[in-house]
Amino acid sequence: MISSTSGPGLLFPKGGWENDETVEEAAVREAIEEAGVRGDLLDFVGAYNFKSKTHEDEFSPEGLCKAAMFALLVKEELNSWPEQSTRIRSWLTISQAIQNCRHAWMKEALEYGFCKWLAQKRKTTS
């Protein structure tokens, strides 16, 4: 997880995607830019709705957004990455991550999306 630039609590790397990339490519890019990690994108673990003050406009006065969450198998921690001066990367257990999530929708994504995905993966590999 990473520190927020606008207050307490931890976040998962996230952001929008560019016109020339897929949502999967955007997820990989955001992990590099915000958390300084590279790896293999494994699976989609769910879509989650949230509100963003920075995305409130005439088309979405409530700032409604949707996040696509993916499991990433981290293979490399970068010593230098684009947002290292504004973010702190933290490695946590699942229970620690749940306790430290800044946003309820991220906690839900972790508790239900990721944990469900992980349980299914464990069943198929045992």
* Closest by CA position to 24, among listed 9, 39, 7, 5: 39
Residues 6+ apart with CB under 8 A from 22: none
Residues 39 and 74: beta-carbon distance below 8 Å: yes
| Token pair listed for 70 | 């993916």
Ordered per-residue pLDDT tens for the chain, 126 residues? 999 888 888 999 988 778 899 999 999 999 999 999 999 999 999 999 887 766 566 656 666 788 899 999 999 999 999 999 999 999 999 999 999 999 999 999 999 999 999 999 899 887
C-alpha 38/C-alpha 74 separation (Å) is 6
- Give pTM, 2 decimals: 0.85
| 9 CB burial (10 A radius; 0-12, 13-18, 19+) | middle
Residues 36 and 91: beta-carbon distance below 8 Å: no
Number of domains in the chain: 1
Domain with 74, as residue range(s), is 2-125
CATH code for the domain of 103: 3.90.79.10
pLDDT of residue 59: 57
* Closest by CA position to 23, among listed 80, 65, 76, 58: 65
